[in-house]
Amino acid sequence: MESLEVRRLRLYLLQAYKVLFGLVHVSTDDLLIPSDNNSHRGLCMPISQINMRINSYSIRVMRVWNSLPDDKVDFSFFTRFRKSLTTNTLIKYCMVYFC
């Protein structure tokens, strides 16, 4: 069974996908903003931080989202993105490891 931390991280990333691609009606100005930085290493839509001290959600998601491996994560459709967020992909971003 997956750790609670991996399951939460997956849910945070799925919510970020929905927000960034307009699948839910949330003001992205309050949570996440697309980055204008060109050094995004091939990601289709990198994000940058906004209101660091107020929005801890953006901090948790931004670090992981921007470092997702391009060869293992598929951003083309939500279902493909969800399936590509495997435990092996996410575990390296977690603080707690289980043997």
Please give the model's pTM, rounded to 2 decimal places: 0.71
pLDDT tens figures, 40-86: 555 556 665 555 555 577 777 888 998 998 888 999 999 999 999 99
Task: Read off φ and ψ for residue 88, nearest 5 degrees.
Answer: -65, -30
Separation of alpha carbons 1 and 73, rounded Å: 22
What is residue 30's predicted lDDT score, i.e. its pLDDT?
A: 58
What is residue 97's predicted lDDT score, i.e. its pLDDT?
A: 55
Separation of alpha carbons 37 and 12, rounded Å: 22
CA nearest to 86, candidates 26, 6, 28: 6
What is residue 90's predicted lDDT score, i.e. its pLDDT?
A: 92
How many C-beta atoms lie closer than 10 Å to residue 24's C-beta?
A: 10
